[in-house]
Amino acid sequence: MTAVHLGMPALPTAPRGVGHLRGDESFPAAARSALRDGQLRANLGHATTTIRDKRARVVDELPDWAELREAGRALKAATMARLDDHLEELERQVTARGGTVHWARDANEANEIVTRLVQATGASEVVKVKSMATQEIGLNEALEAVGLDVFETDLAELIVQLGEDKPSHILVPAIHKNRAEIREIFARTIPGVDPGLTDDPRQLAMAARAHLRERFLRARVAVSGANFGIADTGTLAVVESEGNGRMCLTLPETLITVMGIEKVVPTWQDLEVFLQLLPRSSTGERMNPYTSTWAGVTPGDGPQEFHLVLLDNGRTAVLADEVGREALHCIRCSACLNVCPVYERAGGHSYGSVYPGPIGAILSPQLTGVEDNASLPYASSLCGACYDVCPVAIDIPKILVHLRAEHVEAQQRVTPEAAAFRALSTAMSRPWLWHLTQRASRLGRLIARGRPTLPNALPPPISGWTRSRDLPTPPTSTFVESWTREHGR
Amino acid sequence: MSAREDVLGRIRQALGPDRTAPAEVARDYRHSDGRPAGDPGLLDLLVDRVEDYRASVLRCGPGEVAGTVAAALDQGMGAGWAPGDVVVAPGLPEEWRPPGSDVDDDRPPVQLADRSAAVTAVAVAIAETGTLVLDGSPACGRRALSLLPDCLVCVVRTDQVVGSVPEALARLDPLRPLTMVSGPSATSDIELQRVEGVHGPRTLMVVLVA
Ligand code: SF4
């Protein structure tokens, strides 16, 4: 299980009371209200189906997708095994090219660093490029608390910010809003907006363009995230569509980039793998409209002051778990959200964290400690679709089962579910016991009496489990028994 | 202890004293498209992929660049543009420039927002993905130049057209500020309906010089 070395204190998780990794209610409670929202389900269903189909088309186009995916997986694993070396190299290279590197143990420290850097410029407003890391740490709230104005510049983030809402998808954060709702938000909140604004997406996008253009042109400080930080050259990369990223990375005098420590990649050549995997998995495009890369400061071109903030905030605690650490390989493409039957119905907000969907179900509980997001590892049917589409082959179902076992272990009170999962975990780790368990499940056939699924009316405490799930009636023989019968041992 | 020492120490603790050596990464994906830069098949592929992003491509011979750039500006902005509204990268070859155009200098970058169109060269083009890469060299111009004017015309020489992403990255200098452009700026944030032109240029024109 967790690789805590003897005599060493457990590594700190992301602190409570700051940022957006924990929800106000558990996943099942939040999902119940989402499930009643027909509009939300319709929006989500349409959106996820559309992106899913586009992704499948452009992935099929590449004859070497499997090799790229395997290279992506192996590169991430190799990077994590030498994470300290790569970060030190990145720091050296960024510094050599005129940038300044800062280290932040957690959200509070990162927020303090960025606040101090912005205040030192004397600017009163900040333009921002969409970034998961800065949402995770609640940077906007921290900057606003000292009186700075923060402008999200990604269209969807702008919709979310103006609507005083929360993002619900990694890639298209306003996926839960339809055009009429967006028109209403713009008409209400954008000063001087044309009263004749319709709900045509083009008109809405142009209203956002006009609203932000002047801000870009006068901005003195920008804050961004980074998709990749390349250690051997000190090059940072941001992948985007609208050009708001380019505005922020190019026009202000000062650029502050907040990057999770897991985003480092060792060499420039590695980018050839990720720049093929990411856009196709993410928006289903052969390439996203704009990718910007920069190394430190370039005289006469772009910001003349560059700061890179390297963020831990629980990532090292994830790294300490030999099974769970694979969650750090994520390149935030959101493909796993779009194929997840649970996400499609429950929506992004149910996950309570800025990381929704299958990746959120394995990442958030590890960043916060599983006790603070205890319901998330159960927010999945373990169907495995997320693993199949993941461009870096993260075995999400395996990590979910692992976290469930960890959660169960951590619980003081032994609930029937806890006992069942503990037993399952033990059984799965011992082949002979597993086979015995499977044979024992034939008992279920007696209860089912020929029906395809077990009846809902099982006695408590099992009824708590079967009320919302159809348990298939166990087969007459287990898979291994049939295999042995037909193929021999 | 400084935050730096602390975070590095945590990583070392997490990985443990006997951390596993990283396995060799097998790079057995395609490193090249197999066709040499500028191959006629690659040019056709580039045109197809760029047009798929709803950008337009005009092809011309080496002696016809200036005229074709002017035609691209007509198409991108509508006839009747004034040469002074067009700003070109300082290192753009003389014979490619529309006569009377404004040459970018070290003015504050935001002033470029007053111009309607920009003309630049590229460092490399990727056929398979329909991507143009600008590298901040004098012929490509600084990043603000290809960002602020509403219409962008990029002139591509055939020997700059490679098949795949790995071939392109190998030709680029990672220390320069790079911009990879695949079509006009776009958003799909509203009901996933694609709208071209948000903050970057709304119109992208490519002149491909054989
Ligand atoms: S876990 Fe995999 S599929 Fe999901 S967002 Fe991350 S990289 Fe994409």
DSSP sequence for A94-156 = HHHTTEEEEEESSHHHHHHHHHHHHHHHT-SEEEE---HHHHHTTHHHHHHHTT-EEEE-SHH
Q: Tens digit of pLDDT per residue, chain B (210 long)?
A: 899 999 999 999 999 988 877 888 999 999 999 999 999 999 999 999 999 999 999 999 999 999 999 999 999 999 889 999 999 999 999 999 999 999 999 999 999 999 999 999 999 999 999 999 999 999 999 999 999 999 999 999 999 999 999 999 999 999 999 999 999 988 888 888 888 888 989 999 999 998
Averaged pLDDT, A141-161:
93
In a domain, residue A172? The reply is no
Write out the two tokens for B104. 């970018």
In a domain, residue A150? The reply is no
Q: Which residues of chain B have a CB within 8 Å of the CB of A219?
A: none
Do A390 and A464 lie in one domain? The reply is no
Do A403 and A436 lie in one domain? The reply is no
Averaged pLDDT, A1-5:
44
CATH number assigned to the domain comprising residue A342: 1.10.1060
pLDDT value, residue A44: 85
Domains of chain B in sequence order = 33-209 (3.40.50.10420)
Write out the two tokens for B138. 């004098």
Q: Which residues of chain A have a CB within 8 Å of the CB of B120?
A: none
Task: Pick from B52, B147, B194, B198 the residue to mutate for testing the A interface (most A CBs within 10 Å).
Answer: B198
Interval A154-204: pLDDT, tens? 888 889 889 988 888 877 888 888 898 999 999 999 988 888 999 999 999
User: Is the per-residue pLDDT at A460 higher than 70?
Assistant: no
User: Is the per-residue pLDDT at A412 higher than 70?
Assistant: no
Radius of gyration of chain A (CA): 24
Averaged pLDDT, A52-66:
96
pLDDT value, residue A475: 55
Would you say the CB of residue A394 lies under 6 angstroms from ligand 1?
yes
- Count of the separate structural domains present in chain A: 2
Provide ipTM, 2 decimals: 0.96
Minimal-distance CA residue to ligand 1 atom 3 = A390
Write out the two tokens for A370. 């599983």
pLDDT value, residue A220: 97
Q: Residue B103: what residue type?
A: V
What is the CB neighbour count within 10 angstroms for residue A28? 13
User: Which of B129, B46, B169, B168 lies closest to A286 in space, CA to CA?
Assistant: B129
Do A443 and A403 lie in one domain? The reply is no
β-bridge pairing B124-126 and B131-134: antiparallel
For A248-269, what is the HEC assignment? HHHCCCEEEEEEEHHHEECCHH
Facing residue for A319 by CB, picked from B11, B129, B200: B11
In a domain, residue A382? The reply is yes
Under 8 Å CB pairs connecting chains A and B tally to: 246
Do A329 and A394 lie in one domain? The reply is yes
In a domain, residue A51? The reply is no
Q: Which residues of chain B have a CB within 8 Å of the CB of A88?
A: 8
pLDDT value, residue A422: 60
pLDDT value, residue A42: 85
Residue A4: Cβ-neighbour burial (10 angstroms; 0-12, 13-18, 19+): middle
pLDDT value, residue A250: 96
Do A395 and A440 lie in one domain? The reply is no
Would you say the CB of residue A244 lies under 6 angstroms from ligand 1?
no
Would you say the CB of residue A175 lies under 6 angstroms from ligand 1?
no
Q: Which of A236-240, A283-287, A445-449, B10-14 has the lowest mean pLDDT?
A: A445-449
Q: Are A300 and B22 a contacting pair at CB < 8 A? A: no
Question: How far does residue A392's CA lie from ligand 1's centre (Å)?
Answer: 7
Would you say the CB of residue A363 lies under 6 angstroms from ligand 1?
no
A433-A438-A440 Cα angle (round to 5): 95
Interval A101-112: pLDDT, tens? 999 999 999 999
In a domain, residue A175? The reply is no
Q: Which of A14-23, A26-35, A121-130, B62-71 has the lowest mean pLDDT?
A: A26-35
Do A364 and A442 lie in one domain? The reply is no
Interval A363-396: pLDDT, tens? 999 999 999 999 999 988 899 999 999 999 999 9
User: Is the per-residue pLDDT at A414 higher than 90?
Assistant: no
Q: What percent of chain A has pLDDT over 90?
A: 65
pLDDT value, residue A385: 95
Question: How far does residue A304's CA lie from ligand 1's centre (Å)?
Answer: 34
Q: Are B198 and A242 in contact (CB under 8 A)?
A: yes
Interval A255-264: pLDDT, tens? 999 999 999 9
Q: Are A267 and A318 in contact (CB under 8 A)?
A: no
The last residue of a domain, from among A354, A376, A409: A409
pLDDT value, residue A456: 45
Interval A8-22: pLDDT, tens? 778 999 999 999 999
Q: Are B198 and A320 a contacting pair at CB < 8 A? A: no
Would you say the CB of residue A332 lies under 6 angstroms from ligand 1?
yes
pLDDT value, residue B173: 98
User: Is the per-residue pLDDT at A421 higher than 80?
Assistant: no
Q: Which of A127-136, A286-295, A359-368, A440-449 has the lowest mean pLDDT?
A: A440-449
Please give the residue that has the higher pLDDT: either B187 or A320: A320
Question: How far does residue A331's CA lie from ligand 1's centre (Å)?
Answer: 6
- Phi, psi for B119 (deg, rounded to 5): -125, 125
Say how far apart CA B3 and CA A474 lie, in whole Å.
Answer: 54
Interval B35-47: pLDDT, tens? 999 999 999 999 9
Q: Are B33 and B163 in contact (CB under 8 A)?
A: yes
In a domain, residue A145? The reply is no
The last residue of a domain, from among A345, A376, A409: A409
| Residue-range definition of the domain harbouring residue A477 | 431-487
In a domain, residue A385? The reply is yes
Q: Which of A169-178, A328-337, A467-476 has the lowest mean pLDDT?
A: A467-476
Do A402 and A335 lie in one domain? The reply is yes
Minimal-distance CA residue to ligand 1 atom 8 = A333
Would you say the CB of residue A391 lies under 6 angstroms from ligand 1?
yes
User: Is the per-residue pLDDT at A291 higher than 90?
Assistant: yes
Say how far apart CA A30 and CA A25 lie, in whole Å.
Answer: 6
User: Is the per-residue pLDDT at A425 higher than 90?
Assistant: no
Q: In what order do the strands lie in the sheet with A99-104?
A: A99-104, A305-311, A254-260, A221-224, A125-128, A149-152
Q: Are B143 and A5 a contacting pair at CB < 8 A? A: no
Please give the residue that has the higher pLDDT: either A98 or A454: A98
Do A405 and A472 lie in one domain? The reply is no
